[in-house]
Chain A
């Protein structure tokens, strides 16, 4: 194995020539084996090989524990497209991937904007006083494990003993006295979405605050002098300038929404009333580990991966079509 140092120094031609082909000392060989070989072995065995195996298993009728495994081609996929429960889960996931990122980003951007340019004053655009407090508090959910967020809100939503119904009936909305938010097919999904958004907003708010603060203050000054109000500044100036951050956030959030397993498992482990909150990962998990249909469930995994890739591609495409590239060049 030849090891060449990436960094070329100005040591004259003789020295750099020597640098290109180094003697294979024990130090160098053991270094490469341990530093590259060890992490790669772990990565290949536990990450790459399962992904590759999944593609193969999805084409078989493997039940997992039997030794027999037949190649069935695309039968699993054909079956999936006639599986009403799975299709329902796909629809729920798509719904989540549209609503959750959108609401989270709008909310996070609004709050970030309020913090950064909501301060009083006419001359300069300035941040809000004591904004540190809001940042710290909003960020709380990020350090709470998702499963615990789900469990807390499951209790909040519980009829009779939950705090939500109690508060609502206290302020006069008595129709919610014993309302099961997670037990009604109409509200189970919106309530679950709310929990996910609650968990995500603070993190993205902090990200956007940093992005907005990274913009040259003179840009804001100029806009102010030209007479642009705060709202116009936020929509027509800030947003275009941080659109790459928004795109990244959209993709992360979309991937999280396509997973959603933890939240849904905490709120409605069974998939909710009439499968209204069932998501693909939940269905995959039950199919594999409760029903033992491993071949069929890996096919679900492939679909999930395909939808995720498609989603990311779509976000890139929309950003490019609405002028993302062009703006970046101008910046």
Chain B
């Protein structure tokens, strides 16, 4: 049932048969046109955003199709400092970075135990994690608010980090469970015979072997956490602690009145550009991860 990225068995056969027929060329041309149209639909709004980020507010409100008169890098400075994007960026790096590291460690540990040890309640824990994956976060959000409040973690970065970890945990465990299950038992045996305890077996033997799986999950988790919106909006209302996504939302809703549209577009570019650049560099690995993880 699981169809993973099968790089070898591509439909595209080697170019053996030479020239195609006229009918085949026609199909290929139509296909190219359709795909180009879609690509333009993706690129043009982004390109327009980039151009607008160099415009003054008057220019933005004037003619949307015109090019900027001069490249106003001041928009970027304004977005970074005045609108607080720099601060939100830093918060996001702290929150996403810490939660990513934590959820990878905790998730790997939990998945390892669930996959390779039998004990009463094993299945129950695994299935309750699966259930946690399907329930909408919205059902939990109000009680969660008070859980954090009672622990004095509301509106703090550590509170946000631990919540991110908790909600990314089921997916991480679910994904890595299969990986640890597939690892050969002999290696573990060998480690045990060589005198390694459970801790050492995990950190020096099993964890390194699960590296490909860890990389895929880490990519997924990174994008998911970077994208997170509901949790910070509900649980992190101190504007000093805003993360990028909620900072962007609040900046955009203010911009409706105070209006620095150039800076707004610049803020969008600041948010999108780093991830987009990283994506273009690592796009092959990312697409492999997506196909390995998503087609379940």
Interface, chain A (partner B; CB < 8 A)? 1-7, 9, 25, 27-28, 30-32, 34-36, 38-40, 42-43, 45-51, 53-54, 57, 64, 110-111, 114-129, 131, 133-148, 151-156, 160-163, 165-167, 170, 198, 201-203, 206-207, 209-217, 220, 230, 242, 244-245, 248, 255, 258-259, 261-262, 265-266, 269, 280-281, 284-285, 288-289, 294, 297-298, 301-302, 304-305, 308-309, 312, 328
Contacts and interface: CB of A to CB of B under 8 A. Distances in A.
A147 B248 contact: yes
A51 B138 contact: no
10 pairs of A and B residues whose beta carbons are closest in the complex = A7-B185, A118-B31, A120-B20, A46-B166, A127-B12, A210-B291, A50-B140, A120-B24, A214-B3, A39-B110
26 contacts: A6-B118, A35-B202, A45-B147, A51-B135, A118-B31, A120-B24, A121-B21, A122-B24, A123-B16, A134-B36, A137-B42, A138-B38, A140-B43, A142-B223, A143-B276, A147-B245, A148-B248, A148-B268, A161-B62, A210-B5, A210-B6, A216-B9, A248-B296, A259-B138, A265-B229, A305-B135
Interface centre among B11, B61, B112, B114 (most CB of A within 10 A): B11
Contacts of A145: 226-227, 229, 244-245, 248, 271-272
B212 interface: no
A166 B291 contact: no
Nearest to A110: B34
A210 B106 contact: no
B144 interface: yes
Nearest to A142: B223
Given A36-B113, A116-B12, A214-B9, A308 B185 contact: no
Given A46-B162, A166-B64, 13 more contacts: A38-B109, A47-B170, A54-B139, A121-B17, A143-B223, A151-B249, A161-B64, A166-B65, A210-B4, A214-B3, A214-B5, A262-B230, A305-B135
A46 B167 contact: yes
Nearest to A266: B249
B13 interface: yes
Interface of B: 1, 3-7, 9-13, 15-17, 20-21, 23-25, 27-28, 30-32, 34-36, 38-39, 41-46, 48-49, 52, 60-65, 106-107, 109-110, 112-119, 125, 128-129, 132, 134-136, 138-147, 162-163, 165-167, 169-170, 173, 185-186, 188-189, 197-199, 202, 223, 226-227, 229-230, 233-234, 244-246, 248-249, 252-253, 261, 264-265, 268, 271-272, 275-276, 279-280, 283, 286-287, 290-291, 294-296
Contacts of B129: 43
A214 to B, nearest CB: 4
Contact of B10 (A155, A217, A280, A309): A217
A122 B20 contact: yes
A139 B140 CA distance: 31
Contacts of A114: 31, 34-35
Contacts of A213: 5-7, 9-11
